[in-house]
Amino acid sequence: MTRKISFDYDQALATATDLFWQSGYAATGLRHLLKAMDIGEGSFYNTLGSKKQLYLACLERYEHEVVDERIQVLLAAPSAAAGIRGFFDRVLARLDDPATPSRMCMLAAMQSAEVLADAELRERAERGLTDLQALIRERLREDIERGLLPGTLDADASASLIVTYLQGLWRTALVTFERSAAQRQIDVLLTALGL
């Protein structure tokens, strides 16, 4: 017989997601999580198991609520160029939103020593990068096959460069962010790639 959850699971997960997003995995202590989520230690361990399991659940929630919107724009656009530009527009809108817990993408924040030291979290961080890169690469390849992009375009290198720039954009935005300047950088990058 399973135990009945004695707290609002969705609300607790939303609160934990915001905390992890704001402070990162290592800097978010269990006591702080329990207090903010308004649950006891016993309920936490019975329902969520561990801080790491909670973090993984929060990452999944973040992907469904934030990342999926960007991916849909990338995939639904009539061309790879329009999809990638639309993807960046969503990123910039989130960076510009004062209600966002952190300018750092929660998935990008996984690239930290504490997270990467844990094999399971490292695999999750690597998967986030490779999945996004694969989606962009496939959109580029589709447009190459359709004749919308030149056959000389290196889809692998271009996708890697876009994802690398994106990681840097989030880190730079922690220090300073001006949307128009970021938009100019993105235009220069994508124009240089023929997008």
Note the Cα 130 to chain centre separation in Å.
12
The Cα 38–Cα 131 span in angstroms is 34
Based on its alpha-carbon atoms, the radius of gyration of the chain, rounded to whole angstroms, reads 19
Exposure string (b/e) for 86-102, b if CB count within 10 Å is 16 or more?
bbbebbbebbeeeebeb
pLDDT at residue 1, as a whole number: 39
pLDDT at residue 111, as a whole number: 87
Instruction: Find the farthest-apart pair of alpha carbons in the chain and give their distance in angstroms, rounded.
Output: 61
pLDDT at residue 161, as a whole number: 97
> Which amino acid would we find at residue 132?
L
Q: Which domains occur in the chain, in start order? A: 62-192 (1.10.357.10)
pLDDT at residue 36, as a whole number: 87
Residue 37's CB is within 10 A of a number of other CB atoms, namely 22
pLDDT at residue 3, as a whole number: 53
For residues 125 and 112, is the Cβ–Cβ distance under 8 A? Answer: no
The Cα 2–Cα 152 span in angstroms is 58
* Per-residue tens of pLDDT for the chain, all 195 residues: 345 556 678 888 899 999 999 999 999 988 998 888 888 888 788 878 889 999 999 999 999 999 999 999 999 999 999 999 999 999 999 999 999 999 999 999 888 888 999 999 999 999 999 999 999 999 999 999 999 999 999 999 999 999 999 999 999 999 999 999 999 999 999 999 999
